Chain A
Amino acid sequence: GAVVSQHPSWVICKSGTSVKIECRSLDFQATTMFWYRQFPKQSLMLMATSNEGSKATYEQGVEKDKFLINHASLTLSTLTVTSAHPEDSSFYICSASKGASTYEQYFGPGTRLTVT
Chain B
Amino acid sequence: GQNIDQPTEMTATEGAIVQINCTYQTSGFNGLFWYQQHAGEAPTFLSYNVLDGLEEKGRFSSFLSRSKGYSYLLLKELQMKDSASYLCAVRDSDSGYALNFGKGTSLLVTP
**A-B complex is real:** no
